[in-house]
Homo-oligomer: A and B are copies of this chain.
Amino acid sequence: MPKQIVICDDHLLFLNGIAELLKNTGNNYHISTFSNVHSCRQHLMEHAADVFICDLNINNFDGFLLLEELKPKLKHTKTIILTAYYEDFLIQKAKRIGINAFLKKETTAEELVDVIESDQSKEFYTNKNYKKDVGVYSSIDDPIINKFRISKQEKEIIKLIIAGLTSQEIADKLFISKTTVTTHRKNIHRKLEISNSSSLIKFAHENNLLH
């Protein structure tokens, strides 16, 4: 008898792709895919599932709500959260409400199959060896920003503004006067043709200078 696997994700290419992947593993899987919460809920109410793989954000609907709502129905179902959001508090919440595994989308197919095939009585599982990316290179040294002839010190100050520091705090941190920071901010605004720090951060985002 095939293992009944239900997957819910609004990224259709991901949804169908992962279904194809699982079909081609050689395991005996019957896979049902859903790209919206409503039809997925309906299916799970009417059919027993062995494994339920769910994204956390389905068309802006909170996947946790669906999981918690269906919990009584999923007593004998292995529940797996598969998401791009890999945040500590989300993992803790998943553990708390009894989810069996929390996987990020960078997971390999092998790891996913391992989780599907593992004994359900096992402990909560999540990806190991995951270091939160801090930004390997300082992307503020980007050619895009150099185009605007932003100097080294100005870059430093941009970083600190983006980090949420006030001019006084930046001055203290860099051991310079607050008025100097003000001058730098002035020059940055002139060079980038903006007039407030929100726009500065917006500029940084649009040019993907952050991470």
Contact = CB atoms under 8 A, between A and B. Distances in A.
A59 B133 contact: yes
Interface of A: 10-14, 16-21, 24, 35, 56-57, 59-60, 62-65, 82, 84-85, 87, 89-90, 93, 105-109, 112, 133, 135-136, 139, 141-144, 146-147, 161-166, 194, 196-199, 201-202, 205-208, 210-211
A161 B62 contact: no
B143 A57 contact: yes
A202 B163 contact: yes
Given A13-B105, A21-B17, A139 B62 contact: yes
B105 A64 contact: no
Nearest to A205: B210
27 contacts: A11-B14, A11-B106, A12-B105, A13-B14, A13-B106, A13-B109, A14-B18, A16-B108, A17-B19, A20-B20, A20-B24, A60-B136, A60-B141, A62-B143, A62-B208, A64-B143, A84-B84, A84-B208, A85-B143, A87-B144, A90-B143, A93-B206, A162-B202, A164-B194, A164-B202, A165-B198, A198-B198
A106 B139 contact: no
A195 to B, nearest CB: 8
A208 B85 contact: yes
A87 B105 CA distance: 21
B12 A135 contact: no
Contact of A20 (B21, B63, B164): B21
Contacts of A143: 56-57, 62-64, 85, 90
Contacts of A142: 57, 60, 65, 85
B161 A13 contact: no
B198 A162 contact: yes
A171 to B, nearest CB: 15
